A = this chain, B = another copy of it.
Amino acid sequence: MIDCGESTQTQMRKSRISFSGLKHIFISHLHGDHCFGLPGLISTLGMLGRSGDLYIHAPSGIEEFLRPILTLFNKELPYKIQFNTIDPYSHSLILDDRSLEIYTIPLKHRVPCCGYLFVEKQSEPHLIKETLDFYQIPLRMRPGIKQGADFITEDGTVVPNKYLVRPANPPRRYAYCSDTAYSESIIPLIEGADLLYHEATFAETEAKRAKETFHSTARQAAEIARRAQVKKLVIGHYSARYENITPLLQEAREIFPETVSANEGMKLSI
């Protein structure tokens, strides 16, 4: 989970997202709209009988925020919370999982703030079952074939690796960048990402206000997407002044056509 504003648990229920599948929460910065959902979510996970550790990655201050609440409200929480205080000013690997690497992306906001880059690891190629069955290739040889080995039959025929495996999908990359002023320094870090979430609090007509409040305009978000050559951009975090966000979307699409606008409960496939 990335960020956890008030009502996150309600939205999870509405979207039928599993509470038990949650293991890591990445908080971009300590503003209420990005973390005031944590106390309720933590309590609910306890009431659901969770036992495995919950990891919360966030800039410093997160423990000062949550520790008193845990002491007052969750004396008997049946699971542990592991805090990982991250440095929002560096681009660092903060989690190296079986399938993912997760990096921080330094952003420019009024308080220490970072985005997160999720990089899928290259997975092994898929074995072509039909060919393996045809040559009756023993199970013990399969790991080697996945690593690139050819197969040699009893009569000495070489079956090249390319007939035995189908390459895995190329690893995907998702970059989340909110909240931030326009910052070109993130471009090399997110280059070529399959999906970029970039905040677009204002329209370009409010560029001055965006700069003052360390937010971005829709045009600026699209400019970052275009220069980083990402495959797709999703904008969000619109100011409450915009009842209709179509103008923001149009503004972004003029610069970067592959833009979509986030809305509540939206699901995007990468």
Residues 128-139 of chain A: 1 if any B CB is under 8 Å from the residue's CB, otherwise 0?
Answer: 000000000000
Distance A73 CA – B31 CA, assembled complex (angstroms): 6
Q: Evaluate whether A6 and B61 lie within 8 angstroms (CB atoms) in the complex, with A32-B73, A72-B30, A73-B32 already known.
A: no
For this chain, the copies found in one complex come to 2
Cβ contacts under 8 Å, A36 to chain B: 39-40, 43
Cβ contacts under 8 Å, A10 to chain B: 6-7
For chain A residues 63-118, which have a beta carbon within 8 Å of chain B? 64-65, 68-69, 72-73
Check if A178 is an interface residue, CB within 8 A of chain B.
Answer: no
Check if A180 is an interface residue, CB within 8 A of chain B.
Answer: no
Distance A40 CA – B7 CA, assembled complex (angstroms): 10
Size of the A side of the interface (Cβ < 8 Å), in residues, is 20
Shortest Cβ gap from A182 to chain B (Å): 23
Cβ contacts under 8 Å, A72 to chain B: 30, 61, 64-65
Check if A220 is an interface residue, CB within 8 A of chain B.
Answer: no
Residues 25-40 of chain A: 1 if any B CB is under 8 Å from the residue's CB, otherwise 0?
Answer: 0000011110011011
Distance A43 CA – B72 CA, assembled complex (angstroms): 21
- Give A contacts to B, CB under 8 Å: 6-7, 9-10, 30-33, 36-37, 39-40, 43, 61, 64-65, 68-69, 72-73
